């Protein structure tokens, strides 16, 4: 297996990189998975590169994708991202609000015998745990913990129209915390990305639209609805579930 650029990248691969294709099974039960930590992609800035390492907007030439995303979500009480000691202003809370900046660098994996065989790379960034500060009517803003994260990302399922991705071998490092003794702590994690998709009048899967019904796939490849609180300015967001 090698990681290399190639003009043999198919239109399906390019489509998966630029806008995840959706070809999924019909729903039999629409039930949202329950997770301790969930983050949502609020914004993303991506760049695409060809075999020479030059920026390109031609889907047929894209073989590398880099992106920076801003995320926000929550972590359950008792996890490394939500130790009880950080809940200074609301000690009865059961979750902590998390904000994060993430960066990924993903390449097409190409094998001379089989052609395109994967879409993998690395992901990393910084996070902050925030609580209510001087303005109780907006989202939490007072920082009580900061740290870093890193892992390996695999978006290969998107190449065959499955809007899922995974992070393996992840590590969270606490750089600062109001909780004494927590700075320097590390915790392993894995994660799952669930990319939203829509449906047209005939039930076919399409690109999700602002303000319209949208869905995620669960681990059994069955759809479940994107909730009203899983949108940013009306757009359905990528859902990132973290497991410690």
Read off the tokens for 23.
């070809």
Distance CA 14, CA 20 (A): 9
pLDDT tens-digit map of 139-176: 888 899 999 999 999 999 998 889 999 999 999 999 99
Per-domain boundaries in the chain: 2-243
Segment 170-222, tens digit of pLDDT: 999 999 999 999 999 999 999 999 999 998 888 788 899 998 999 999 999 99
Does pLDDT of 4 surpass 70? no
What pLDDT does 89 receive? Answer: 72
SS (H, E, C) the chain: CEECCCCCCCHHHHHHHHCCCCCCCCCCCCCCCCCCEEEEEEEEEEEEECCCCCECCCHHHCCEEEEEEEEEEEEECCCCCCCHHHCCCCCCCCEEEEEEEEEEEEEEEEECCCEEEEEEEEEEEEEEEEECCCCCCCCCCEEEEEEEEEEEEECHHHHHCCCEEEEEEEEEEEEEECCCCCCCCEEEEEEEEECCEEECCCCCEECCCCCCCCEEECCCCCEEECCHHHEECCEECCEEEEEC
Distance (Å, rounded) from C-alpha 17 to C-alpha 153? 14
């Amino acid at each position: 297996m090698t990681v290399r650029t190639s003009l043999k990248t198919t239109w399906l691969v390019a489509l998966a990189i630029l806008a995840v294709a959706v070809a999924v099974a019909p729903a039999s039960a629409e039930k949202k998975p329950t997770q301790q930590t969930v983050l949502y992609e609020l914004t993303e800035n991506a760049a695409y590169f060809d075999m020479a390492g030059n920026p390109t907007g031609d889907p047929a030439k894209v073989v590398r994708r880099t992106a920076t995303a801003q995320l926000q979500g929550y972590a359950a009480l008792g996890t490394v991202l939500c130790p009880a000691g950080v809940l200074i202003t609301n000690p009865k809370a059961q979750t902590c609000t998390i904000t994060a900046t993430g960066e990924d660098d993903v390449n097409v994996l190409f094998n001379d015998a089989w052609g395109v065989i994967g879409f993998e790379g690395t992901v990393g960034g910084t996070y902050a745990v925030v609580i209510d500060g001087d303005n109780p009517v907006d989202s939490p803003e007072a920082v009580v913990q900061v740290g870093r994260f890193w892992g390996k990302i695999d978006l290969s399922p998107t190449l065959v129209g499955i809007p899922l991705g995974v992070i393996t071998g992840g590590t969270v490092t606490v750089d600062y915390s109001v909780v004494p003794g927590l700075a320097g702590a590390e915790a392993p994690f894995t994660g799952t990305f669930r990319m939203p998709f829509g449906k047209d009048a005939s039930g076919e899967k399409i690109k999700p639209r602002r303000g319209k019904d949208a869905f995620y796939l669960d681990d059994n490849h069955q759809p479940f609805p994107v909730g009203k609180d899983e949108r940013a300015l009306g757009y359905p967001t990528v859902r990132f579930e973290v497991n410690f």
